[in-house]
């Protein structure tokens, strides 16, 4: 008998390819924005007539149904990608009509809908991120994911990168398991995908390589640093101006008190939370600016935390105040966040190379 012991109780196995969740969320967010922009541009037309109206929540349900059917019928990785895109679009069309289902008069234009939708996407992103990253894949999960990649050997779509990834997963698995040795040999001797299929993968990654080349350049790092230095200066000036208004109000100047009341927007809880988020984000930006000379990776981390503070605290309330018009600021924050994370990865890679040298 083999020395391998079968696990006593089955449990949920995480996928090593869980990045498709991000694809799902991006597709959903893009669909919500496209629908809102299209309806605004066309004057909110109705599909139907004679008392009938086919709401786009139905198209959303159809998209999610198609995604589920695809996942149940087919096994290929391309099917999972299509299902993530179609299912995300369906979910976006569904959740866009949230205002109709939380109001007694079915108000599609219910103003807090934007904040509710935004908060939902943030919670989904954070929850799925935590599930993926709270610990590394276990040996059992690594083996199961390697078995999943073995499907590509059978259908002839395994690429060189996927083969390397599969071998890494096999190395992380329990080496006493009877499937480990055959899987390792299978991946080592497997033929790679035809050139045509590999070219499709190359085209799909061409954009990311171009992005990497831009972000890695010295001038781009200087531009990012300049953006946050400017943001830090603006924060210091606005903080100084607010402090002057508070001091003037305490000293009894009516003009200062009126200006402070106008800036506070009625001293609501939402305004207070936004003010706290702005102050914390501003302090982090200033901290990052001063850390740039000593450690770029610490500076980038401080900038990242400042953006997360804005995304998770300030922006939901901005959606509550202005509706979907706040999406522009969110896209800017997301672009900066992705850039900073890549730059941190580059800095960590440089540290490893220096240590090896």
User: pLDDT at position 9, please?
Assistant: 46
Rounded CA separation 285/303 (Å): 5
Residue pair 152/77 in contact by the 8 Å Cβ criterion: yes
Closest listed residue to residue 148, CA positions, set 131, 173, 125, 127: 173
Report in angstroms the alpha-carbon separations of 17 from 182, 219, 246, 344: 22, 33, 52, 22
Query: Rounded mean pLDDT of 132-152?
Result: 83
- Sequence-distant (6+) residues with CB within 8 A of 54 are 47, 48
* Residue 18 DSSP SS3: coil
Quote the tokens at residue 14: 């995480």
> What is the rounded average pLDDT for all residues in the chain?
77
Beta partners for 49? 52
Element (H, E) at 53: strand 52-53
Quote the tokens at residue 111: 């103003």
User: pLDDT at position 62, please?
Assistant: 94
Rounded CA separation 167/157 (Å): 16
pLDDT band at 60 (very low <50, low <70, confident <90, very high): very high
The dihedral region occupied by 43, where left means phi > 0, alpha psi between -120 and 50, and beta the remainder, is left
pLDDT band at 70 (very low <50, low <70, confident <90, very high): very high
Token pair 């450690």 is at which residue?
295
Rounded CA separation 256/274 (Å): 21
Helix locations, 173-268, DSSP H: 180-189, 195-216, 218-250, 254-264
Beta partners for 131? none
Token pair 């831009």 is at which residue?
214
User: pLDDT at position 5, please?
Assistant: 54
Distance of CA 281 to the CA centre of its chain: 20
User: pLDDT at position 308, please?
Assistant: 81
Residue pair 232/285 in contact by the 8 Å Cβ criterion: yes
Query: Rounded mean pLDDT of 31-44?
Result: 82
**Integer distance in angstroms from the first to the last C-alpha of the chain?**
47
Percent of the chain with pLDDT over 70: 77
Indicate whether 132 pLDDT > 60: yes
User: pLDDT at position 211, please?
Assistant: 55
Q: Please tell me the number of Cα atoms within 13 Å of 111 on its side-chain side.
A: 6
pLDDT digits 0-9 by tens, 260-281: 666 655 445 556 666 777 778 8
Query: Torsions phi, psi of 45, nearest 5?
Result: -75, 160
pLDDT band at 321 (very low <50, low <70, confident <90, very high): low
DSSP string, 275-310: HHHHHHHHHHHHHHHHHTTT-HHHHHHHHHHHHHHI
pLDDT digits 0-9 by tens, 86-130: 999 999 999 988 888 888 888 888 877 877 887 888 888 878 877
Token pair 């000036």 is at which residue?
237
Least confident range of 5-14, 67-76, 145-154? 5-14
Rounded CA separation 227/339 (Å): 13
């Amino acid at each position: 008998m083999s020395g391998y012991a079968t696990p006593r109780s089955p449990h949920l196995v995480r996928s090593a390819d869980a990045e498709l969740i991000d694809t799902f969320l991006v597709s959903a967010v893009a669909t919500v924005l496209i629908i809102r922009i299209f309806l605004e541009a066309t004057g909110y037309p109705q599909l139907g007539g004679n008392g009938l109206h086919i709401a786009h929540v139905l198209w959303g349900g159809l998209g999610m149904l198609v995604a589920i059917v695809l996942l149940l019928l087919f096994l290929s990785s391309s099917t999972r990608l299509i299902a993530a895109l179609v299912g995300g679009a369906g979910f976006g069309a569904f959740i866009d009509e949230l205002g109709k289902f939380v109001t007694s008069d079915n108000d599609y234009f219910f103003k807090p809908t934007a904040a509710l939708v935004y908060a939902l996407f943030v919670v989904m992103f954070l929850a799925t991120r935590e599930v993926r990253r709270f610990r590394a894949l276990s040996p059992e999960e690594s083996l199961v994911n390697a078995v999943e990649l073995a499907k590509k050997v059978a259908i002839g779509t395994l690429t060189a990168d996927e083969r390397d990834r599969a071998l890494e997963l096999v190395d992380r698995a329990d080496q006493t398991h009877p499937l480990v040795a055959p899987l390792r040999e299978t991946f080592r001797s497997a033929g790679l995908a035809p050139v045509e299929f590999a070219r499709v993968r190359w085209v799909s990654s061409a954009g990311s390589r171009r992005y990497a080349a831009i972000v890695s350049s010295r001038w781009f790092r200087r531009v990012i640093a300049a953006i946050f230095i400017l943001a830090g200066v603006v924060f210091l000036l606005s903080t100084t101006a607010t402090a002057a208004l508070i001091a003037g109000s305490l000293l009894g100047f009516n003009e200062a008190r009126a200006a402070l009341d106008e800036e506070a927007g009625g001293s609501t809880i939402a305004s207070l939370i936004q003010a706290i988020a702005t102050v914390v984000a501003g302090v982090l930006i200033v901290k990052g600016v001063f850390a740039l000379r000593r450690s770029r990776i610490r500076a980038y981390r401080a900038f990242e935390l400042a953006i997360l503070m804005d995304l998770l605290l300030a922006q939901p309330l901005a959606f509550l105040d202005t509706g979907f018009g706040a999406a522009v600021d969110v896209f800017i924050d997301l672009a900066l966040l992705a850039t900073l994370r890549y730059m941190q990865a580059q800095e960590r890679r440089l540290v490893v190379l220096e240590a090896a040298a």
